[in-house]
Amino acid sequence: MTSSLQGSGMTSPRTRERMVARLAEQGISNPQLLDVMRKVPRHIFVAEALASRAYDDDALPIGYGQTISHPYTVAKMTELLLENGPLTKVLEIGTGCGYQTAVLAQLVGKVYTVERILPLQRVARSHMYDLLIKNISYMHSDGGWGWADYAPYDGILVSAAPLEIPQMLLEQMAVGGVMVIPTGVSGGSQVLKRVTRTASDYKIEDFGKVSFVPFKSGKEQG
Ligand code: SAH
């Protein structure tokens, strides 16, 4: 790794190690996940002026009114997604700066990621290039439609909160597949949910209150 990827001072491997120790204290226990979060240089995903805060448990602005998810949120969602075993094909809605995508891609076979704001996705792609992470396909689209070409998915992870779980995403889940998604009004009472598709139905579990940016329809060129 080059020195800017590796980090120094407030962005050093030691700072990352402290972030991972905090995640473990907060109850994150998947060893592979903790290992990946120890390695991914979170500071490159935020503006240089904010790099020293990249490992705080905070949501930081990434431009276009969007935020990078808290480390704990990324960890919790990924852990919930992977709890029932390894996944080969995962659809992610809301690439944003790509931090969650980079973590996910190192734990599953392949990630299909959809973002509605084109410049954000371009920046995410360039980070993945720098990090040599290649098992990702990108689409600039409204994630409410999912990505039918590669469905069904054994995992779906959504990083923005719709009011209700989009029907198209439910349809694109494989039987036995899992979706982790926040729902509800932003700034109000959003809840993190895990949906598991069974042969005949969908089982829904709640994992408490969360705070995400709203899931919006349509797409923006930036
Ligand atoms: N996973 C990201 C979180 C980014 S914030 C990270 O680790 O940083 C959520 C992202 O979801 C924003 O970039 C926003 O533009 C995107 N988003 C919101 N609604 C969407 C939709 N309908 N389709 C695709 N992306 C959407």
Provide mean pLDDT across the span 154-171. 97
Using a 6 Å cutoff on CB, does residue 42 contact ligand 1? no
**pLDDT score recorded for residue 57:** 85
**pLDDT score recorded for residue 169:** 98
Provide mean pLDDT across the span 62-67. 91
**CA 141 – ligand 1 centroid, Å:** 11
Torsion from C-alpha of 41, 42, 48, 50, nearest 10 degrees: -140
Q: Which helix (H) or strand (E) holds 126?
A: helix 118-130
Using a 6 Å cutoff on CB, does residue 70 contact ligand 1? no
- What DSSP string describes 145-213? G--GGG--EEEEEE-SB-SS--HHHHHTEEEEEEEEEEES-TTS-EEEEEEEE-SS-EEEEEEEEE--P
**pLDDT score recorded for residue 2:** 61
At 170, is the pLDDT very low, low, confident or very high (cuts 50, 70, 90)? very high
Q: Which helix (H) or strand (E) holds 120?
A: helix 118-130
Q: Is 69 a catalytic residue?
A: yes
Closest atom of ligand 1 to CA, residue 120: 13
Q: Catalytic residue among 3, 69, 211, 217, which?
A: 69
pLDDT above 70 coverage of the chain, percent: 99
Q: Does the pLDDT of residue 166 top 80, yes or no?
A: yes
Domains within the chain, CATH numbers bracketed: 3-210 (3.40.50.150)
Q: Does the pLDDT of residue 1 top 60, yes or no?
A: no
Closest atom of ligand 1 to CA, residue 100: 7
Using a 6 Å cutoff on CB, does residue 162 contact ligand 1? no
Using a 6 Å cutoff on CB, does residue 69 contact ligand 1? yes
Using a 6 Å cutoff on CB, does residue 139 contact ligand 1? no
At 6, is the pLDDT very low, low, confident or very high (cuts 50, 70, 90)? confident
At 3, is the pLDDT very low, low, confident or very high (cuts 50, 70, 90)? low
Q: Whose CA is nearest to atom 6 of ligand 1?
A: 68
Q: Does the pLDDT of residue 185 top 80, yes or no?
A: yes
What are 81-95's pLDDT values in tens digits?
A: 999 999 999 999 999
At 22, is the pLDDT very low, low, confident or very high (cuts 50, 70, 90)? very high
Q: Whose CA is nearest to atom 19 of ligand 1?
A: 215
Most confident of the ranges 51-55, 66-70, 166-170? 166-170
**CA 52 – ligand 1 centroid, Å:** 23
pTM (predicted TM-score): 0.96
Instruction: Decide: 111 and 214 in contact? Cβ < 8 Å.
Output: no
Using a 6 Å cutoff on CB, does residue 99 contact ligand 1? yes
What is the residue type of 166? P
Provide mean pLDDT across the span 14-25. 95
Provide mean pLDDT across the span 115-140. 97
Closest by CA position to 92, among listed 156, 9, 19, 26 = 156
- What DSSP string describes 3-39? HHHH--GGGSHHHHHHHHHHHHHTT---HHHHHHHHH
